[in-house]
Structure 1
Amino acid sequence: MSGLLDLLNSPMGKQIISGVSGSTGQSESDTGNLLSMAMPVLMGAMKKNVQTPDGAAGLMGALSGKHDGSILDNLGGLFQGGVDESVTKDGEGILGHLLGGNRPNVENALSQKSGMDAGSVGQILKVAAPILMGVLGKQTKQAGVNDAGGMNALLGGMLGGQPKENQSLISSLLDADGDGSILDDVAGMVLNSGGKKGGLGGLLGGLFGK
């Protein structure tokens, strides 16, 4: 089972970072830095969603249908000539489902933490969200996951593998005030996790030389 660190550090991960970078006009190092912060947040939101029967059923349905991992079969074609509008519209829907009305707060927090403008953060997230769903869909098939418990374990495994300090930070980020909601905690935790190399921004270590 691959974790997010393994994904972003793999040849496929570097292709994703390069493609997202090219489609949004941001540097590869800035794009990689942002994805290392944003992907655990999105996956944490998914993990929170599967705690309810409706949320688990919705995610399982999406992963067995549209988001079965086929998007990963032709990443070169996906990024060649710019990402198709259907992909960014799909990403818009995924972000709306996962983050709801708190999406601007999440994007602004990631913007301030990464030093990238919020508009560019939003564009990157719209491209990254369908790819992340595709990765999860592929992992779901490979692991033979077919129920909420299995999905919860899969998401937990993919969120694992972080350095201990980052595990604590992500854990706190998911529900800093203990009220069962990750979304009202995202902005403060991301913004207060230290400079660009600290906290979630440091998940990839020195991979991008930052």
Structure 2
Amino acid sequence: MAGILDLLNSDLGKTIISGVAGSTGQDQNKTGALLSMALPVLMQGMKRNASTPQGAEGLMGALNKHDGSILDNLDGFFGGGVDDDAVNDGGKILGHVLGNKQQGVEKILSQKSGIDMASVGNILKVAAPILMGVLGKQTKQQQVQSPSGIENVLGGLLGGNSAKEEQSFLEKILDADGDGSVIDDVAGMVLGGASKKSGLGGLLGGLFGGK
């Protein structure tokens, strides 16, 4: 299974990045860099939620709506601007995935991407239904019938054999409480990962200042 970062580097991913940037009035390169950082964080949040039976059942229920069909009509989704229903849906997804950590996560993503915090929130609201569509499509293709299978799908999209440092980075962001105290630690993780030539740590290091 291709990972979420592989998807962003594909032709489909470029269409997603271009559409999100256009819909939110943001620079395409900065939007791509932000999504490369944010989507694994959101998927890790979903994976955490799916680790409980109740959370997994809730995610399965949501995927009945987000079945992947959005990926087949991205021109329609982005055409003329993303409608309010989709943005509201994205906001609900973020609230469910991140809970009271949402402000802290958006603050760190803003710090590392150079995009203001309000615009980060708008980008994530537009991207969230697409991300759910990606998950829904993979779930459908793998014929996942039970909540227990969701974690495996999420793990595959994240890269099932991700290094502990990378998983720690994602967990660190998700544990942000919005007071800014974690930013220096996260920055150190990002920059420290720059020596790696592959994997999420290396990618983030390259995108956000590591050489």
For the criterion TM > 0.5, the same-fold answer is: yes
Q: Distance in 1 between matches of 2:22 and 2:145?
A: 36
Q: Distance in 1 between matches of 2:202 and 2:70?
A: 26
Distance 1:174 1:27, change over 3 A: closer
- Please say if residues 67 and 134 of structure 1, whose CA atoms lie closer than 8 Å, have aligned partners that are also in contact: yes
Q: Does 1:85 align with 2:47?
A: no
Q: Does 1:193 align with 2:211?
A: no
Q: Residues 34-183 of structure 1 correspond to what in structure 2 (within 5 A)?
A: 34-63=34-63, 65-160=64-159, 167-176=163-172, 182-183=174-175
SS in 2 for 1:193: helix
Deviation string, structure 1 residues 128-179 (Cα, Å, up to 9, x no partner): 11100001000100011122332111111110178x6xx3333103445xxx
Q: Distance in 1 between matches of 2:120 and 2:165?
A: 21
Deviation string, structure 1 residues 91-136 (Cα, Å, up to 9, x no partner): 0000001111111110000000111110110010000111000010
Q: Distance in 2 between matches of 1:35 and 1:29?
A: 10
Q: Distance in 2 between matches of 1:45 and 1:139?
A: 17
2:176 to 181, 184, 187: 184
How many residues are matched?
199
Runs of 4+ in 1 over 2 A off after TM superposition: 167-170, 173-176, 181-195, 197-206
Distance 1:94 1:40, change over 3 A: same
Q: Distance in 1 between matches of 2:82 and 2:54?
A: 31
Show the counterpart of 2:6. 6
- Please say if residues 21 and 27 of structure 2, whose CA atoms lie closer than 8 Å, have aligned partners that are also in contact: yes
Per the TM alignment, residue 183 of structure 1 is displaced from its structure 2 partner at its CA by 2.7
SS in 1 for 2:189: coil
Matched-pair identity in %? 58
Q: Distance in 1 between matches of 2:29 and 2:205?
A: 11
Show the counterpart of 2:197. none
Distance 1:153 1:161, change over 3 A: closer
Q: Distance in 2 between matches of 1:170 and 1:72?
A: 27
Distance 1:161 1:26, change over 3 A: farther
- Please say if residues 105 and 174 of structure 2, whose CA atoms lie closer than 8 Å, have aligned partners that are also in contact: no
Show the counterpart of 1:32. 32
Distance 1:23 1:87, change over 3 A: same
Deviation string, structure 1 residues 16-40 (Cα, Å, up to 9, x no partner): 0000010111111101100000000
- Please say if residues 33 and 114 of structure 1, whose CA atoms lie closer than 8 Å, have aligned partners that are also in contact: yes
Q: Distance in 1 between matches of 2:177 and 2:166?
A: 11
Q: What is the TM-score normalised by the length of structure 1?
A: 0.85
Letter of the 1:124 counterpart = I
Q: Distance in 1 between matches of 2:201 and 2:90?
A: 22
Q: Distance in 2 between matches of 1:192 and 1:108?
A: 16
Q: Distance in 1 between matches of 2:140 and 2:152?
A: 14
Per the TM alignment, residue 81 of structure 1 is displaced from its structure 2 partner at its CA by 1.1
* Farther off after superposition, 153-162 or 185-194: 185-194
Letter of the 1:58 counterpart = G
Structure with more relative contact order (C-alpha pairs < 8 Å, separation 6 or more) = 1
